């Protein structure tokens, strides 16, 4: 996946069957679905692939235990099927993760065991394993740092865990392999319409060069997540709110706070939310919050009340109490929830199901949904496009399309940090052999090498320090201080590979340090 090849495709195509706006999970999935059916497909993303919500999840591939409690059986069943398909199609990134629910009252063990047995049954042949009641002793054995005071028992169940932005990049690569054209840093600045006010294409701007292009297309898909309303302003004559953003935050800690391969799940916190502490890349990710917010941003910042809530809850359930000084990184993400019909609904009442809207102009918009169901969302979007935009009828093929890099991995494989590259691992090792300077470690405390940075630039369309350290190599999400420390090294290699000068390097480093400060708690930010 290389930018010059994608730009060449853009310039050689007169009309597209499908134009997708937005390079998050839903948009990338839609591009893959359309291209695999044989439609001429282009996707444009204003910044970088998965820059927004799709790189900031809880890293779970799940049916949604919370939705089961709410009685949304159809959503849970659909998500559990998709969880199984993700594990089959992207085995290098999706793994079976065991979760333990500690119970501090006598009835909790029985209540959650019954509920999770139903959860298992709904997953059918794609079940990841049986849920079961465990004793207090076994709970402590599986979660050595769990708060033991008042502990009665536990319940263990299986769900999925993954690396979100790495999967996004691999879906992008798969779409390109199927013939799609994908461009990051290409922003839609206008919708093109005919005399009958029907959308016939988009005008896009290359954010790096300033070049404008008019793209003609039969079906235009708006998959811009929390930025849906911005595109709809270009489309509608009367403004209406289509999505409401909900913010979720996560704190990242050293694994010593939960030295286990098992994840911790608290089904009901003090305010009724679910909290997870999940092992991820040899760290522990703890979250999440669910706060309706009024405005959206490319770089949402965790609110102090959210940080306090996650910290206080973690302290209540962990014997080793994490403090603000222990936070290695804090990241915030915005969920694009479909706007409720009535104002004032809480986030728990706003549907997580996806919703497809067809405007009078013919624009097709997707709202809601979640990472786990990205493939089904994409299938529904293209099926809708066939119906309303009269594309030739072709069947969806993505249930059994192997995602770029797909290979089954086990626990031993995952001890090598390169496991996330799957079938590309030999190519990265070959890079190190051919260019010995790329064997150099990115940071002394981590196993990442400069070869991975070079790979991201040459084969994954990384254009900035942020692209590399946030979404290709996940260092910013794991340890913000370490990411800041290596930013100059990454900037120099980017400049060398992409032909930029010293001024560009300085500007990049300044921009990245400003951005990375948002991943640190207030008292640890640099000036």
> Is residue 352 predicted with pLDDT exceeding 70?
no
What pLDDT, on a 0 to 100 scale, did the predictor assign at position 348? Answer: 47
The residue among 350 and 45 whose pLDDT is bigger is 45
Nearest 10 degrees: Cα torsion 406, 367, 467, 301: -130
List, in order, residues 6 or more apart from 211 with CB less than 8 Å away: 205
Q: State the chain's mean pLDDT as an integer.
A: 92
Is the per-residue pLDDT at 347 higher than 60? no
- Output the CATH code of domain 414-524: 1.10.8
* Residue 443 predicted with pLDDT over 50: yes
User: What average pLDDT does range 181-186 have in this prediction?
Assistant: 98
Task: Please give the pLDDT value at position 76.
Answer: 82
CATH 1.10.8, the chain: domain bounds: 414-524
Residue 271 has pLDDT above 80, yes or no: no
Closest CA to 84 of 74, 75, 94: 94
User: Could you tell me which of 154, 99, 145 has the C-alpha nearest to residue 318?
Assistant: 145
Return residue ranges of the chain for CATH 3.50.50.60. 3-53+165-242+344-400
pLDDT of 506 strictly over 50: yes
**What pTM was estimated for this model as a whole?**
0.95
Structure token pair of residue 462:
């990384």
Neighbouring CB atoms inside 10 A of 203's CB total 15
pLDDT tier, 342 (very low <50, low <70, confident <90, very high otherwise)? low
CATH 3.50.50.60 is the classification of domain 3-53+165-242+344-400:
yes
Confidence band, pLDDT 50/70/90 cuts, at residue 455: very high
Q: Which fold has domain 94-161+244-338?
A: D-Amino Acid Oxidase; Chain A, domain 2 (3.30.9)
Task: Provide the pLDDT for residue 340.
Answer: 64
Give the residue ranges of DSSP H helices in 393-479.
Answer: 425-434, 450-459, 465-466, 475-478
Decide if pLDDT at 349 tops 60: no
Between 266-280, 368-382, 442-456, 465-479, the lowest mean confidence (pLDDT) is in 266-280
> What span, in angstroms and rounded, lies between the C-alpha atoms of 124 and 131?
13
DSSP 391: P
Of 265, 305, 258, 316, the C-alpha closest to 287 is 265
């Amino acid at each position: 996946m290389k930018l010059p090849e994608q730009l060449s495709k853009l310039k050689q195509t007169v009309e597209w069957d499908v134009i997708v706006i937005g390079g998050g999970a839903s948009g990338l999935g839609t591009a893959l679905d359309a291209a695999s059916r044989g439609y001429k497909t282009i996707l444009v993303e204003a910044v970088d692939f998965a820059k927004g919500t799709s790189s900031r999840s809880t890293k779970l591939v799940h049916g949604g235990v919370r939705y089961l409690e709410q009685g949304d059986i159809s959503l849970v069943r659909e998500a559990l099927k998709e969880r199984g398909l993700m594990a089959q199609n992207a085995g290098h990134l999706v793994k079976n993760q065991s979760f333990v629910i500690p119970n501090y009252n006598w009835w909790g063990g029985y209540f959650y065991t019954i509920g999770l047995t139903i959860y298992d049954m709904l997953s059918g042949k794609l079940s990841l394993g049986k849920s079961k009641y465990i004793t207090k002793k076994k709970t402590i054995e599986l979660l050595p740092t769990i708060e033991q005071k008042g502990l009665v028992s536990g319940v263990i169940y299986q769900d999925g865990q993954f690396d979100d932005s790495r999967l996004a990049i691999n879906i992008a690569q798969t779409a390109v392999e199927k013939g799609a054209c994908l461009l990051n840093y290409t922003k839609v600045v206008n919708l093109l319409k005919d005399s009958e006010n029907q959308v016939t294409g988009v005008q896009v701007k290359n954010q790096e060069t300033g070049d404008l292009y008019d793209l003609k297309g039969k079906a235009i898909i708006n998959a811009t997540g929390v930025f849906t309303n911005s595109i709809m302003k270009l489309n509608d004559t009367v403004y209406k709110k289509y999505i409401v953003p909900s913010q979720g935050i996560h704190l990242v800690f050293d694994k010593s706070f939960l030295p286990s391969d098992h994840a911790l799940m608290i089904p009901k916190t003090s305010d009724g939310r679910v909290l997870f502490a999940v092992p991820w890349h040899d760290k522990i990710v703890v979250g999440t919050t669910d706060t309706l917010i009024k405005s959206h941003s490319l770089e949402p910042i965790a609110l102090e009340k959210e940080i306090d809530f996650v910290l206080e809850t973690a302290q209540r359930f962990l014997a080793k109490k994490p403090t603000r000084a222990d936070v290695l990184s804090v990241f915030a993400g915005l969920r694009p929830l479909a706007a409720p019909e009535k104002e004032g609904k809480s986030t728990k009442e706003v549907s997580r199901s996806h919703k497809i809207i067809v405007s009078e102009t013919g624009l097709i918009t997707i709202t809601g949904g979640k990472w786990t169901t990205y493939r089904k969302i994409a299938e529904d979007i293209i099926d809708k496009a066939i119906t309303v935009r009269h594309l030739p009828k072709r069947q969806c093929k993505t249930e059994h399309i192997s995602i770029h890099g797909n290979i089954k991995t086990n626990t031993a494989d995952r001890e090598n940090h390169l496991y996330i590259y799957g079938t590309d691992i030999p190519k990265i090792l070959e890079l190190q052999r051919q260019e010995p300077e790329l064997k150099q470690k990115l940071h002394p405390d981590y196993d990442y090498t400069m070869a991975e940075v070079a790979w991201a630039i040459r084969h994954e369309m990384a254009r900035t320090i942020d692209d590399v350290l946030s979404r290709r190599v996940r260092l910013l999400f794991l340890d913000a201080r370490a990411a800041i420390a290596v930013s100059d090294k990454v900037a120099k290699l980017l400049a060398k590979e992409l032909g930029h000068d010293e001024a560009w390097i300085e500007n990049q480093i300044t921009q990245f340090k400003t951005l990375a400060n948002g991943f640190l708690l207030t008292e640890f930010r640099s000036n």
